[in-house]
Structure 1
């Protein structure tokens, strides 16, 4: 604790935030970020996905309470489903179940006036990654389009962002987080909270794969973006953590 106090007195800005975050266990850090991100709906989904759907063992009760207090409607139900930790972990897909649930998703969205969001919530938040990937393939065979296109046309706001994030993370988690890093640095200014959150959360998980996907998707290295959008010790520590 004395070391942390000394660091707080000696450091400042985004460099301080990054250094202090390194002293947290990655999963504890994720949980704390979830707890602080509820009021920022576009970020909280990324944080929850960064926890790889584990039960958020720190602040879980507070997180569930804040979701109830600070969100509403279908987005609240989506977040509640994600943090209950009830996602299946089956390594193999059941093709017949995938066909059945792909048809349910089609009937809940494209095939009816309005959208039955509860069906999307149940399937996206319950099924394993392997099962969902098969369901997405079956959905395309039925609907003639990727499920992302249907979500974009059938939903809006935080719910759309949340469902799209789940689909993207299920299909290719490193690509999803590469996109999050790109968006944190692209355009005017840097969204430092999102940048720090993603780097810290994924540094010991799949950073090498994220770097590969970043290069493939954007034609430039992650390091080159970091060098262009950060400076000083803040830049140096990020480059060190991502292995550059």
Structure 2
């Protein structure tokens, strides 16, 4: 009888990855291969194990050519806190859409952890940093309303409230002449959960035969209407929104240069299957192929392609 093979525990496996990384400094391709094959939870375990073995934080050790890797090893809320800080104080100027993604596509419990992580890391309050933006901007109003929404207590989604809010939005929007009533929109956004708002916009389409965003798009809209439209798109169909964001970044039609890494890292194990499907449906192209066409061959491209190929796990 052949001798039994000893099962390798997850701890031993992570230790092995750490030792391979430690022996591969200067071999960037090997390090990328080791990490992109793991889930983000496993990458965080590797970071912990590396600290135990070598006393160094991997996040701080990567060479400049691998600075896209640390985001795989951060807790999701810590990573989003970093994304939020970069959106407010990054080299590319204010990035409101990155902040909208955080406040619309994360659970309230996750948003509260982001706020805590932001304060712990940057010694500042994210809400206050958003409120202090100068000059004031319509996105600022929407973000403050969404932030208030996450802090409020929310019951189960109510069909009755959704229908009432939908009618109220109609009566203070396309159902009357002139611009939409900002105060009404902000009040509803600040008092309803994301799930409740999604039901409201579903009810709006059911009652009036078209989406709330199509009404905003058809109007001679201003900056506030544009901001509302982006927020509603994020709430109603995150995969479609992200597919459009990725396409714009890959094709150079947007100034949001950080969207590629931000979206792929944050959605890789959440709804990447749906994003790939919506991308193909809308543009007739495979996301992987567009990434390969838009980026130079090398570690960075391998990193992006691996993320885009991830299967949703939640």
Q: TM-score range by the shorter chain?
A: 0.7 to 0.9
How does 1:86-235 map onto structure 2 within 5 Å?
Answer: 86=151, 90=155, 92=157, 94-110=158-174, 111-140=176-205, 143-152=208-217, 153=219, 155-157=221-223, 159-187=224-252, 192-231=257-296, 232-235=298-301
Q: Name the structure with the higher helix share.
A: 1
The corresponding residue for 1:6 is: 61
Aligned to 2:117, what secondary structure does the other structure show?
coil
Matched-pair contact (CA < 8 Å) for 2:104–2:235: no
Matched-pair contact (CA < 8 Å) for 2:101–2:234: no
Cα distance in 2 between the residues matched to 1:74 and 1:190? 19
Matched-pair contact (CA < 8 Å) for 2:163–2:204: yes
- List per-residue Cα deviations over 1:46-87 (Å, max 9, x = no partner): 343343452223225521121121152543221112223236
Cα distance in 1 between the residues matched to 2:254 and 2:209? 39
Which 10-residue stretch deviates more, 120-129 or 74-83? 120-129
Select the structure of larger CA radius of gyration.
2
Residue 123 of structure 1: how far off its partner (Å): 2.1
Residue 33 of structure 1: how far off its partner (Å): 1.0
Cα distance in 2 between the residues matched to 1:82 and 1:217? 28
Cα distance in 1 between the residues matched to 2:287 and 2:260? 11
Identify which of 287, 295, 305 aligns with 1:239. 305
Unaligned runs of at least 5 residues, structure 2: 1-55, 89-93
Structure 1 residues 11 and 87, CA, compared in 2 at 3 Å: closer, same or farther?
same
Aligned to 2:180, what secondary structure does the other structure show?
coil
Question: Structure 1 length normalisation: TM-score?
Answer: 0.82
Structure 1 residues 73 and 240, CA, compared in 2 at 3 Å: closer, same or farther?
closer
Matched-pair contact (CA < 8 Å) for 1:49–1:169: yes
The corresponding residue for 2:98 is: 43
Which 10-residue stretch deviates more, 184-193 or 220-229? 184-193
Identify which of 98, 118, 130 aligns with 1:67. 130
- List per-residue Cα deviations over 1:142-183 (Å, max 9, x = no partner): 5553210222326422x3343223222222222221121111
The corresponding residue for 1:76 is: 140
Matched-pair contact (CA < 8 Å) for 1:32–1:59: yes
